[in-house]
Structures are given as C-alpha cells and as structure tokens.
Amino acid sequence: MIALEKIREAADEISDVIHRTPVLTSSRLSEQTGNEVYLKGEHLQKTGSFKIRGASNKVLKAVREGASHVVAASSGNHGQAVAYIAGQAGVQATIVVPVDASPAKVAAIEAYGGQVVRCGLTSAERIPEALRIAEETGGVFVPPYDDPDIIAGQGTAGMEILEQVADCEAVIVPVGGGGLTAGILCAIKQMRPEILVIGAEPETADDTKQSLEAGERIAIGPTQTIADGLRTSIPGELTFPILRSHLDRLVTVSEGEIKEACKLLFQYTKQVVEPSGAVSAAALLSGRTGIRGKRVVAVLSGGNVSADAFAEMLRT
C-alpha cells in the first residue's frame, strides 16, 4: 500500500500539469444499470488519459535529480504522457511501443517530441528493451505502472473522485498492469475503506483474473483485445499485491461488450472513449459487478482513439 501522504505529495507535484477531470452523469446509464451512475472523465485528461498523472510525478522528480533523458515502454497512452511531460521539462524521451501500436497513439508520441522504438507485442518484451536503452544512454526508466511514484500519481484520481462524488459507494476501474487500480485503491481504502473498488478487465487479456485466482502473478503470453491499453501479459510486482489484498472483486468483459460500451457512451453522453477506457462501463452494463441501487463511479481511463477506428467500431 502506498501511503496516503505520498499520494497527497503527488497531487501537489502535478497540480500545475494535469487537469482536474470532470465527473459526468447519464440518466440513461443509470436507468439501464439500476444504479446512480457517475463517469470520471479521464478521457478528457491532458494527453487523453490518466497516465499523465503518474508520468508527471515520476518524470518531474527525475528531472529535479538531474535526469536529461527518460525512457518508457508503452502501448501508447503512457508513452504519450511521458513524451509530453519530458518535452515540458526540456528533456529527451524515448518510447518503446509494440510493433502493432495504434498509429494515432504513435503519431501523438512523436508530436510531443518523443522518439519511438518498436519492439514485440507484449509488455514483457517492451520493458526489457526500454531498460536496455536506458542503461546504454544513461536515461531514467519510467515504468508504465510498477513504481511507487507512478502508483501515487494515479492515486490522485481516487482522491478527486471522493471530493467530487458525495457518498460514493462503489468505483469501477479498468485493469491493465494495475497502476491506476492500485493507486485508486491506495487512496480510497485509506480514506473511505467501506467503498467498493471493482476491477474490469478484457476476457482475452485476463492476466490479473488468472493471477488473483492462483494467488500469485501469472504470465499469460501474447493477447489480442480491442482494449490495447490493457494488453499486459503479467500484473506488476508492486501493483499485484495491492490488488490481491484490497480489490473487492474483478469482472471480465467480452470484446463485444467493450464495443457496445463505447457506442452507448457516445450515444448517451456524446463522449468519445477508447475501448480501454470504456471497459469499466462495459463491466457495469454487463450486470456482473453485483452492484444494484448504489452511487457508482465508472472511471473512463482514456480517449485516445483515431476517428477512423472509432467510426469503424460504431458501424460494427
């Protein structure tokens, strides 16, 4: 568990960088799910996802300690965040992405000034390559999720939820490597431990589900899911124990349910949410969360999807 004081320090560190994202409501989603539904709009965050919270906390500290080059491994959103904050801080950024990374996300990384290197399909392949580059160049590695400063930065979203939604009873969070979920757990379970925190994961990239069932971290190898930001092969060494000890439950959702959630979010709220960011809403809409009649917040973790890809998803 990351101490609440560390999350508060992160909030101070990044306050001039990030947006305090809005909480949206939808009467249609509330009626359809039988809950009072709120949507934490991290898809409206700077660089288009929650990742800027942890990346800023880590990179700004590294720069103060003399770093001139940062290196990250990312399927897209973390890379965009690291490239952006590195540019703002005046240091070089190298981002290792999968060979099939979203063209829109790669273009954004490059637009922020990051140098892109392609490697493999999984985080298990990308991270060693990023570590090698960092060692060779003297750069500082910025982990996508498995780092105390990253987790503390992501935890600031949990603090905001408690400030924005009075009497919140449950929070649903997309699960990839576990950084966002771990951060929100650390914030909420130390401030309001009675609130349910539920993870949501794609069925086809269910490393966290398998690991929770086994009681230890399980590697599942390469996976395919429309929720590319959640396509991790094994939970983090730091994040998994937090999820194992404090996550109330985990729900997996199908590819069809993720697409349907994206469509309904667009139809009901006029918001463009990427598939990874819509997994929380998909879990709520599935009815498998076990939540009924509660004030619930679904975290929409990102909105980085190309217009063509989003339009195609709406047609299918």
Short-list 85, 63, 57, 104, CA closest to 310: 104
Q: In this structure, which amino acid lies at residue 176?
A: G
Strand partners, 298: 39, 172
Strand partners, 201: 252
Contacts of 157 (CB under 8 A, 6+ apart): 21, 40, 42, 50, 53, 180, 183, 184, 187, 299
Contacts of 87 (CB under 8 A, 6+ apart): 93, 112, 113, 114
User: Pairing state of beta strands 23-25 and 36-41?
Assistant: antiparallel
Q: CA-to-CA distance for 4 and 249, rounded, in angstroms?
A: 22
∠ Cα 237 241 247 (to 5°):
130
Short-list 62, 59, 31, CA closest to 47: 59
- DSSP annotation of 46: G
Alpha helices per DSSP H over the chain: 4-14, 27-33, 51-64, 77-89, 103-111, 123-137, 148-164, 179-191, 207-214, 239-246, 255-269, 275-286, 307-315
> Does the annotation mark 301 as catalytic?
yes
Among residues 56, 233, 280, 301, the one annotated as catalytic is 301
Among residues 51, 189, 209, 259, the one annotated as catalytic is 51
Token pair listed for 249: 């439950």
> Does the annotation mark 102 as catalytic?
no
Q: Which residues are catalytic?
A: 51, 301
